[in-house]
Amino acid sequence: MRIILPVLLILSLSACDRKSPPTVTVPTAKSHNTLLNEQAAAARLDAPIAPLTPLAQLGKKIFFDETLSGSGHMSCASCHNPQNAYAPLNNLAAQLGGTDLARQGGRAVPSLTYHERTPTFKVMPDTQLDIDDGATLKAPRLAQKTLSDAEISKAISEGHANTVNVVHADTVVPLGGFDLDGRAVSLADQASGPLFDAREMANSNIRSLQKKLAAAPYAREMVAVFGKNALGLPEQAVRNATKALEQFQLEDHSFHSYNSKFDYVLAGRAQFNDQETRGWTLFDDPKKGNCAACHLDKPTKNRMAPAFTDYQYEALAAPRNSDLRANQNPDFFDTGLCGPNRNDLAGQSGFCGMFKTPSLRNVATRRVFFHNGVFHSLEDVVRFYVERDTRPEKWYPKRADGSVEMFNDLPVAYRANVDVGDAPFNRHQGEQPALSNQEIDDLVAFLKTLTDGYK
Ligand code: HEC
Ligand code: HEC
């Protein structure tokens, strides 16, 4: 319904004959805005696909090259399959890699679509945030962390003062960065992670990767792009390869095609059915799904497409997943921003348990959900959102005394970081969930409109 208004407006404007009296209603600010958003969405759909630059073409070859691994059988595409929005086709909580292709990774593999606008990681005051060309981000919300003086001096004494923008900020939020804990500062920086991770592509060192690159069929192209010293030094060779991987992800249309049904609706070229429309309303309603509070679904001020993330971090307390081998150790916890994969924020106990809010674009193509891959269907995810606090006994294990151990994938000390203030989490055991079964189905129907390649 939101989109129909301006369409009618165009029709009535173009039907307006000079001689007839000026009966056309003056467009309101909102409908004018909607019209411009519609034009921007249409322009995205109609934009010709530019050919890849030589650097991005090189990145594409590297992305699919299995020889660049310790096993000789694993490329980026082994985990990030282009057939599935650059996520795996199987439904394993985490993938197997390493030199013997038998070591399990620590986290669910994210889609590689829609990371091109990710801001660099920072911890900043949660006032009117101005990322993404001035995205219409709401003012303070959710997960606000007030740093005590003690915490600030601790961060400074431990040398984190640069990472943590502690300059007497009262309320700060972490934002941006790559990987689920934001530890990589760019896509190029990120790529060096999997190339050397012993559970992933498992190259033993930069020299061995340099050798593989020098022997690759595209070695000559590397020289053409980067000059004759392209592969001469190990650091240089690896830096060039990761730069090319970054460029491939930034340029190739398949990583950010903005052509889902949602985008067609935004462009006024398709309509949601009744169920999808109801789902979208629930997605936005602050008292119902409230999903849009974090998964932003409105075009930015500069009319860029909604990214379905605010690039911020939250602790949602997905149940512990026993399919992850690391979890066999009861003392092991993946606390996201606090480690184990980054340690510069370990002193910021208020951030422990937080993971990056993922884009929901292409979310219906995912086989496992949340950082630990504990859920296997969108229905389960949405049901968890609305039942986590109303029916915790369904989601978390019972202790010996019969009580429910809520938030069991976090150390007890960090359970207070879990978001319990915002709908749909702001309920208590035994209360009605924020969404009925029908409404859960409606919401899921809406999420399915976010898959690329509608036409
Ligand atoms: C063995 C499976 C595997 C392989 C191979 C792999 N990745 Fe990943 N990738 C992952 C996992 C798991 C994560 C999440 C890591 C985390 O949060 O700690 C990830 C995260 C990412 C991200 C960050 C996404 C985000 O949400 O911020 C990018 C980008 C990425 N990978 C690119 C690559 C590239 C490029 C390659 C090849 C050099 C590659 N990956 C190889 C499993 C893999
Ligand atoms: C308070 C912010 C916030 C709100 C509100 C919120 N989400 Fe999320 N969402 C997140 C974060 C953070 C994650 C990642 C959590 C993790 O990996 O542990 C996430 C993950 C997800 C995932 C899993 C995606 C994947 O690739 O694994 C889905 C699906 C999802 N959210 C849908 C929704 C829906 C539907 C709603 C509304 C009912 C909603 N979210 C409300 C922050 C939020």
72 with 99: CB under 8 angstroms? Answer: no
Give me the pLDDT at residue 28, please.
54
Residues 325 and 418 placed together within one structural domain of the fold: yes
Residue 148 lies in a domain: no
Rounded Cα distance between 413 and 317, Å, is 13
Give me the pLDDT at residue 150, please.
55
Residues 306 and 447 placed together within one structural domain of the fold: yes
Q: Which residues pair with 356 in a beta bridge?
A: 313
Minimum mean pLDDT among 32-41, 145-154, 195-204: which range? 145-154
**Tokens standing for 376?**
């296997």
Residues 262 and 372 placed together within one structural domain of the fold: yes
CB distance 97 to ligand 1 below 6 Å: yes
**Ligand number nearest to the C-alpha of 255:** 1
Minimum mean pLDDT among 26-35, 112-121, 394-403: which range? 26-35
Q: pLDDT per residue over 189-238, tens digit each? A: 999 999 999 999 999 999 999 999 999 999 999 999 999 999 999 999 99
Q: Which of 356, 308, 329 is nearest to 174 (CA)?
A: 356
Give me the pLDDT at residue 124, please.
85
Rounded Cα distance between 412 and 168, Å, is 28
Give me the pLDDT at residue 12, please.
35
Instruction: Please determine, for residue 130, whether its predicted confidence score (pLDDT) is greater than 50.
Output: no
Residue type, 196: F
Atom 26 (ligand 2) nearest CA? 369
Q: Which helix (H) or strand (E) holds 127?
A: none
Residues 263 and 338 placed together within one structural domain of the fold: yes
Residue 158 lies in a domain: no
Confidence of residue 347 (pLDDT cuts 50, 70, 90): confident
Rounded Cα distance between 108 and 193, Å, is 15
Q: Please provide residue 124's backbone torsions phi and psi, each rounded to the nearest 5 degrees.
A: -140, 160
Number of other residues whose CB lies within 10 A of the CB of residue 220: 10
408 with 399: CB under 8 angstroms? Answer: no
**Tokens standing for 214?**
């020098």
Three-state DSSP class for residue 192:
helix
Q: Which of 152, 148, 141, 145 is nearest to 171 (CA)?
A: 145
Residue 123 lies in a domain: no
Q: Give the sign of the dihedral formed by CA 206, CA 207, CA 209, CA 210.
A: positive
Residue type, 55: L
| Domain residue limits at 236 | 54-115+183-255
Mean pLDDT of 380-396: 98
**Average per-residue pLDDT for the chain:** 88
Tally DSSP H helices, then E strands, for the chain. Answer: 14, 7
Give me the pLDDT at residue 171, please.
74
Residues 189 and 273 placed together within one structural domain of the fold: no
Residues 83 and 3 placed together within one structural domain of the fold: no
Residue 326 lies in a domain: yes
More confident residue, 347 or 324: 324
Residue 362 lies in a domain: yes
| Residues across the chain | 455
Rounded Cα distance between 47 and 44, Å, is 5
- DSSP 8-state symbol, 104: E
Residue 419: HSE in the Cβ half-sphere, 13 Å Cα cutoff: 20
Of 229, 255, 281, the last residue of a domain is 255
Residues 433 and 370 placed together within one structural domain of the fold: yes
Q: Checking DSSP bridges between strand 122-125 and strand 145-146, what pairing results, if any?
A: unpaired
Residue 138 lies in a domain: no
Q: Please provide residue 164's backbone torsions phi and psi, each rounded to the nearest 5 degrees.
A: -95, 115
Of 255, 286, 304, the last residue of a domain is 255
Residues 10 and 94 placed together within one structural domain of the fold: no
- The pTM score is 0.88
Instruction: Please determine, for residue 260, whether its predicted confidence score (pLDDT) is greater than 80.
Output: yes
* Contacts with 432 (C-beta within 8 Å, 6 or more apart), sequence order: 390
Q: Cis ω on the peptide bond leading into residue 340 (within 30° of 0)? A: yes
Residue 178 lies in a domain: no
For the chain, give the percent of residues with pLDDT over 90. 81
CB distance 95 to ligand 1 below 6 Å: yes
Q: Which of 450, 279, 444, 324 is nearest to 377 (CA)?
A: 444
Tokens 């348990």 identify what position? 353
**Ligand number nearest to the C-alpha of 87:** 1
**Largest Cα–Cα distance of the chain, in whole Å?**
83
Confidence of residue 15 (pLDDT cuts 50, 70, 90): very low
Residues 420 and 303 placed together within one structural domain of the fold: yes
- Exposure of 405 by Cβ count < 10 A (0-12 exposed, 13-18 middle, 19+ buried)? middle
Residues 213 and 328 placed together within one structural domain of the fold: no
Confidence of residue 29 (pLDDT cuts 50, 70, 90): low
Tally the domains of the chain.
3
**Which CATH number do you get for residue 311?**
1.10.760.10
Residue 126 lies in a domain: no
Give me the pLDDT at residue 267, please.
97
The set of protein residues with a Cβ atom below 6 angstroms from ligand 2 is: 142, 289-291, 293-295, 314, 316, 318, 355, 357-358, 360, 363, 366, 369-371, 378, 381-382, 385, 419, 422, 424, 443
70 with 202: CB under 8 angstroms? Answer: yes
Residue 328: HSE in the Cβ half-sphere, 13 Å Cα cutoff: 4
CB distance 109 to ligand 1 below 6 Å: yes
**Tokens standing for 289?**
């799904």
Question: Which residue of 334, 360, 409, 450 sits with most ligand 2 atoms within 8 Å of its CB, as the best mutation to test the pocket?
Answer: 360
Residues 88 and 197 placed together within one structural domain of the fold: yes
Q: Which of 183, 85, 450, 128 is nearest to 310 (CA)?
A: 128
Minimum mean pLDDT among 9-23, 285-299, 373-387, 436-450: which range? 9-23
Question: Which residue of 64, 65, 86, 112 sits with most ligand 1 atoms within 8 Å of its CB, as the best mutation to test the pocket?
Answer: 112
Alpha carbon 442 to its chain's center = 22
- Whole-angstrom CA distances from 205 to 76, 221, 391 are 17, 23, 49
Give me the pLDDT at residue 289, please.
98
